[in-house]
Amino acid sequence: MTIQNRYEFVYFFDVTNGNPNGDPDAGNMPRLDPESSKGLVTDVSLKRKIRNYIQLSEENSPGYDIYVQEKSVLNQQNQKAYDALEIKSEPKKLPKDQAKAKEVTDWMCANFFDVRAFGAVMTTEVNSGQVRGPLQLAFAKSIDPIIPLEISITRMAVTNEKDLEKERTMGRKHIVPYGLYRVHGFVSAKLAEKTGFSEGDLEKVWKALEMMFEHDHSAARGEMVGRSLIVFKHENALGNAPAHKLFERVTVERVNGEEGTPAAAFSDYKISFNADGLESLGVEAKQYF
């Protein structure tokens, strides 16, 4: 059953001595807002981590394939719908019969979790339509300014025998000593009707936000942790209050160190939210972790 309620959520995660999201236009330095010096993480980066967790946790589960994954060929992914429905595909065109065209797009939604959740433009050479997803994320931004560091590293091994006598290879790593990031998310019940995004799917998203960094450790992202998830659930599909008013109820207080300066640890912050009067607005709040 598709979700029947509108949701918004506030998600916090942090990084310690790692690069949460490198900027390819800046030599893979951590992304930065030049005006405030606060760190940024793109929605695309966070969606990638959700996809990866779902792929691990729901491996071989029907309906939980991932459309956008490493080294996937999108034309081949789109062709799966035509093969399953025994419909012949035409280059760059959906079937002329509207019912069949809808079948193709619906099949993609039913079988690929990320199409069902985030939407997708599947109008490639093999055209499977276009879907607007019910689950959307904004950019994450750090609570306080960050100070990216560039660390020199060396490689003790060489590639070729002829290089044995040469100096060892030098390299660079970019890290954020510490940063707590906040991101806002939105879930539309009306768009979920079109993709089939269900309550079960949504519960898996909440679990992914809690656990996805546990399976994303790398040399660049050694210590990233999901710290808190606060979800606002409306009584109906259209919603009962503006999202920004709900987000304003979630506050972050600096309890150690001076506000506006780089923090050193999660214990430097206190996250709280004000639930007073929410019931009268027709909104329920829940803190998942």
Q: DSSP states of the chain as a string?
A: -B--S-EEEEEEEEEEEE-SSEEGGGTTEEPB-TTT-EEEE-HHHHHHHHHHHHHHHTTT-TT-B-SS-TT--HHHHHHHHHHHHT---BBTB--SSHHHHHHHHHHHHHHBHHHHHHEEEEESSBEEEEEE-SEEE--EEEEEE---EEEEEEE-S-SSGGGTTSPPEEEEEEEEEEEEEEEEEEE-HHHHHHHT-BHHHHHHHHHHHHHGGGG---SS-SEEEEEEEEEEEESSSS-SS-HHHHHTTEEEEE-SS-TTS---SGGGEEEEE--TTHHHHTEEEEE--
pLDDT of residue 156: 75
Which residues partner with 39 through β-bridges? 32
Residue 14 lies in a domain: yes
Share above pLDDT 90 across residues of the chain, in percent, rounded to a whole number: 75
CA 109 and chain centroid, separation: 18
Share above pLDDT 70 across residues of the chain, in percent, rounded to a whole number: 98
Residue 23 lies in a domain: yes
Residue 94 lies in a domain: no
pLDDT of residue 37: 92
Alpha carbons 61 and 111: distance in angstroms, whole number? 10
Quickly count: other Cβ atoms within 10 Å of residue 135's Cβ.
Answer: 25
pLDDT of residue 167: 66
Domain tally, the chain = 1
Grade residue 159 by pLDDT with cuts at 50, 70 and 90: confident
Give yes or no for residue 160 having a pLDDT over 80: no
Q: What average pLDDT does range 234-260 have in this prediction? A: 93
User: Which value, to the nearest 10 degrees, does the dihedral of the CA atoms of residues 210, 214, 216, 217 take?
Assistant: 140
- The region of weakest confidence among 54-63, 235-244, 252-261 is 252-261
pLDDT of residue 155: 73
Give yes or no for residue 4 having a pLDDT over 90: yes
pLDDT of residue 262: 85
pLDDT (tens digit, 9 = 90+) per residue, 271-284? 999 999 999 999 99
Q: What is the pTM of this model?
A: 0.91
pLDDT of residue 60: 86
Residue 73 lies in a domain: no
pLDDT (tens digit, 9 = 90+) per residue, 8-42? 999 999 999 999 998 898 888 999 999 999 999 99
Grade residue 161 by pLDDT with cuts at 50, 70 and 90: confident
pLDDT of residue 259: 79
Enclosing domain of residue 219:
7-63+132-151+173-287
Q: What average pLDDT does range 117-143 have in this prediction? A: 95
Alpha carbons 81 and 112: distance in angstroms, whole number? 11
Residue 277 lies in a domain: yes
Residue 230 lies in a domain: yes
Residue 100 lies in a domain: no
Residue 11 lies in a domain: yes
